[in-house]
């Protein structure tokens, strides 16, 4: 109430009248400036002028358009995104936009697939690693009876896995059989490649004629023996921890492979050593083949599969090897030592025999783990050394029989003149 009486005083009325006057003047000023703006003509001086030589164009009242120069267009492109202009989409533009939309969808699909594939690959790797770790290395004392082969190897044994896939995955883990598997697996791969090269390329690069087909085919007995021996051995050492039944089957195959290698190695040597003595050659080849089959049958008997027959098995193999060496003695008597060294690759034969016998001795005596129990669990155990020596002996033998074949081709020739003369004279008589 008090404030209203103060506002109604004559002084206040004067002040109010002054205020309203000022406000009215402000409003009028604003209206005036707005009208001035509306009525004012555009300042043509400030507009950009088009450079032209025609003087009449300046005089016309038509609006002039500025055509941008190349430099200006380039600068505008670089300066940033263009202002959006609304243009009516042509059919081509529409198709392009549709195509780009489809391309975007496809790219998204591909990216999704790539991500999914990466995820599934990651999952597979993780599950593979998990599967590889699904068993722990075991102490000798905890092994089942059929896996207790060498008591000098204390730790690092595979337990009974009971699964073929797990056995094969164990190839990539470190245990007592790792080196046994890999030594013969690498040898097997080598002896698969060597025959391919042997039969594809000419036997002698510098000779005018190639080796005769039967002379080349006889090498097959050696290649087949080596491949089967190394394959059976690799398989046995891989799956021996599956179960007693599987271990028994593959251990017999392993022995069979060794017998095949001995017989297969001997046949090409007999073929070239008694090249022109047909009946002697045939007798020896048949004899060694029969002995090989007998050894094979003997060693595949269930009784001889037990660990206590280890020495017996070794003796059988050594006996087969020595019987195979009997024709060599015959050959030396026939040709003399120096000629036997030259013709029969005697040095290679002796080296091969030495490697086999050393391997067999280490295998039977369990050296060096006998002297270092528990120290050769993973590396340098007798069986690994035996494997390495077997592969080395096979390579030496291949070199030896190749030398004999080369000598027959280059020096002696594939014909047997002495034999033909004898046969002719016999016929005449």
- Smallest gap from residue 301 Cβ to Zn ion (A): 19
Integer CA distances (angstroms), 132 to 218, 271, 399, in order: 43, 48, 40
Q: Minimal distance in Å, beta carbon 398 to Zn ion? A: 20
Q: Pick the closer one to Zn ion by CB: 218 or 256.
A: 256
Q: What is the DSSP string of 131-200?
A: HHTSS--B-GGGS-GGG---TT--S-B------HHHHHHGGGS-STTHHHHHHHHHHHHHHHHHHHHHHH
The residue behind tokens 């003149």 is 417
- Report which secondary-structure segment, H or E, holds 314: helix 310-335
Smallest distance from Zn ion to CB 391, Å: 11
Binding interface with Zn ion (CB under 5 A): 233
Q: In terms of CB distance, is 263 or 362 closer to Zn ion?
A: 362
What angle (nearest 5°) sits at the alpha carbon of residue 146, between those of residues 144 and 152?
A: 80
Q: How far is the CB of 264 from Zn ion (least distance, A)?
A: 18
Cβ proximity to Zn ion, 218 vs 232, nearer residue: 232
In this complex, which beta carbon is closest to Zn ion, that of residue 233 or of residue 402?
A: 233
CB of 356 to Zn ion, least distance (A): 14
Output DSSP code: residue 51: P
Read off the tokens for 52. Answer: 């032209």
Our CB check for Zn ion shows the closer of 138 and 234 to be: 234
Residue that the structure tokens 């008589």 belong to:
429
Q: ∠ CA 376-380-383 to the nearest 5 degrees?
A: 100
Let me know: does 264 contact 297? Beta carbons within 8 Å.
no
Residue 317 · residue 262 · CB < 8 Å: yes
The residue among 387 and 397 lying less far from Zn ion, judged by its C-beta, is: 387
Return the exposure string of 35-45: e unless at least 16 CB atoms fall within 10 Å of the residue's CB, then b: eeeeeeeeeee
DSSP codes joined into one string, 272-298: HHTTT-HHHHHHHHHHHHHHHHHHHHH
Shortest Cβ 232–Zn ion spacing (Å)? 9
State the residue number with the nearest CB to Zn ion.
Answer: 233
Tell me how far, at minimum, the Cβ of 258 lies from Zn ion, in Å: 9
CB of 308 to Zn ion, least distance (A): 18
Q: In the chain, how many H helices and how many E strands?
A: 16, 0
**What does each C-alpha distance from 56 to 42, 44, 46 come to in angstroms?**
21, 17, 20
Return d(Cα 158, Cα 42) in angstroms, integer: 98
Q: Which residue number, 179 or 285, has a Cβ lying nearer to Zn ion? A: 179
**CB nearer Zn ion, residue 271 or residue 386:** 386
Query: To the nearest whole angstrom, how small is the minimum distance from the Cβ of residue 136 to Zn ion?
Result: 24
Nearer to Zn ion, 149 or 403 (CB): 149
Question: Quick count: other Cβ atoms within 10 Å of Cβ 423?
Answer: 12
């Amino acid at each position: 109430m008090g404030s209203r009486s103060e506002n109604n005083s004559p002084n206040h009325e004067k002040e109010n009248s002054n205020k309203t006057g000022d406000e009215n003047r402000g409003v009028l000023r604003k209206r005036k400036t707005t009208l001035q703006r509306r009525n004012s003509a555009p300042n043509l001086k400030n507009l950009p002028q088009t450079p032209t030589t025609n003087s009449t164009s300046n005089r016309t009242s038509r609006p002039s358009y500025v055509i941008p120069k190349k430099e200006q267009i380039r600068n505008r492109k670089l300066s940033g995104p263009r202002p959006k202009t609304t243009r009516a989409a042509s059919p081509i533009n529409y198709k392009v936009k549709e195509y780009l939309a489809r391309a975007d969808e496809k790219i998204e699909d591909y990216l999704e697939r790539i991500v999914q594939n990466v995820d599934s690959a990651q999952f597979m790797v993780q599950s593979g690693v998990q599967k590889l770790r699904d068993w722990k290395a075991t102490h000798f004392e905890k092994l089942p009876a059929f896996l207790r082969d060498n008591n000098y190897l204390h730790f690092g044994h595979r337990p009974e896995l009971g699964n073929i896939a797990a056995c094969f995955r164990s190839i990539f883990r470190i245990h007592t059989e790792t080196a046994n598997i890999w030594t013969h697996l690498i040898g097997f791969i080598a002896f698969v490649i060597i025959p391919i090269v042997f039969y594809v390329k000419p036997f002698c690069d510098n000779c005018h004629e190639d080796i005769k087909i039967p002379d080349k085919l006889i090498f097959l007995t050696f290649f087949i023996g080596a491949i089967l021996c190394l394959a059976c051995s690799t398989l046995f050492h891989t799956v021996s921890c599956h179960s007693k039944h599987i271990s028994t089957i593959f251990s017999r195959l392993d022995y069979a492979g060794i017998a095949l290698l001995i017989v297969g190695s001997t046949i090409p040597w007999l073929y070239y050593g008694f090249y022109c003595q047909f009946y002697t050659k045939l007798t020896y080849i048949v004899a060694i083949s029969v002995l090989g089959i007998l050894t094979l049958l003997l060693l595949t008997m269930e009784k001889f599969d037990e660990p206590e027959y280890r020495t017996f098995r070794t003796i059988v193999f050594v006996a087969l090897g020595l019987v195979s060496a009997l024709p060599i003695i015959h050959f030396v008597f026939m040709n003399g030592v120096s000629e036997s060294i030259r013709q029969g690759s005697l040095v290679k034969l002796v080296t091969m025999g030495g490697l086999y016998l050393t391997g067999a001795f280490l295998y039977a005596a369990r050296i060096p783990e006998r002297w270092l129990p528990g120290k050769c669990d993973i590396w340098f155990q007798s069986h690994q050394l035996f494997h390495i020596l077997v592969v080395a002996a096979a390579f030496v033998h291949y070199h030896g029989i190749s030398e004999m074949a080369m000598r027959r081709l280059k020096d002696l020739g594939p014909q047997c003149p002495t034999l033909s003369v004898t046969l002719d004279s016999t016929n005449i008589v």
